[in-house]
Amino acid sequence: MPVITFREALRQAMDEEMARDDRVFLLGEEVAQYNGAYKVTQGLWEKYGDKRVVDTPITEEGFTGLGVGAAMVGLRPIVEWMTLNFALMAYDQVVSNAAKTRYMSGGQFKLPMVMRGPNGPAEYLAAQHSQALQSIFAHIPGLKVVSPSTPYDAKGLLKTSIRDDNPVIFLEGELMYAWKGEVPEEEYLIPLGKADVKREGSDVSLVSYGKPMRVTLEAAEKLEKEGINAEVIDLRSIKPLDEEAVYASVRKTHCCVIVEESWPFASVGSHLGWLISRNAFDYLDAPVEMVASEEVPMPYNHKLELAVQPQVPKIVAAAKKVLYLDN
């Protein structure tokens, strides 16, 4: 099976969907001749031309709104935000129009559009350009929110998202674009709302999604060396959320740690912790623990930048806490 980067998996997904359906087109800043700020759209402008790979002005609210209008008349736009930090400029279009038009029209308008780009901490980008913003999108009814952790998942989930008739926020990571993994040449789709067990285990459930899956799996390996068998659940999509996959793991292990890189207040992780407490309380041997970013703006200093994010020692310590092994 070919081994490709996360970046190439995304590019293949868009290329295949653009070849399959001529209603699919791409728009965003520098996505055409420049091939995108992170080269995710490499070669698509040469292949599909100006009408289907559209460079836009630096105006996120404007071109996101253009995407909403295009989706309302039957096209299937893929809006690239150079980063989710810039998507804050488009938040009104996302919340007021993309998320609500299908509901407000009584289903007369579909909104088949994907808004994608890098989310979460990167490196040396400081307070304004290194934020994990999934919670503010997951909070809005009418939006689907997807966050893959591997090249395989990225390709299958993006193809499914492009075919969805609802607006999908597709979360990537700047540091993930060079990650490599096996991706089959034949076509496949991954349904939204279907979590994946990345590692079987019986002692504690570690639940995460997106970029923190890497440190979560590293923590599971470290715990194994200490005789603790951790199960790792990758949510893959935040909304819809595969609650049953999480409950099934908790019923098996009786302990749970949630790992995510956003701030903890009113986050995806805190909501999931409440769901587990409400629906699987009788199976828990300890309160659910959460490892999130510290509630501060991202520091520029690299040591502090790493210190505020989920790291392997924090996850290991949380796992030992729910197992009452933290002395």
Q: Which among 60, 174, 260, 305 is annotated as catalytic?
A: 60
Which of 310, 146, 138 has the alpha carbon at shortest distance from 234? 146
How far apart are alpha carbons 118 and 137 in whole angstroms?
14
Which of 169, 166, 309, 293 has the alpha carbon at shortest distance from 237? 169
Catalytic (active site) residue 129: yes
Q: Which among 30, 129, 243, 294 is annotated as catalytic?
A: 129
How far apart are alpha carbons 203 and 13 in whole angstroms?
37
Q: Which helix (H) or strand (E) holds 68?
A: helix 60-72
Instruction: Tell me the two tokens of residue 144.
Output: 């689907």
How far apart are alpha carbons 189 and 13 in whole angstroms?
10
Catalytic (active site) residue 139: no
How far apart are alpha carbons 203 and 250 in whole angstroms?
10
Which of 207, 184, 224 has the alpha carbon at shortest distance from 292? 207
Q: Which residues are catalytic?
A: 60, 129
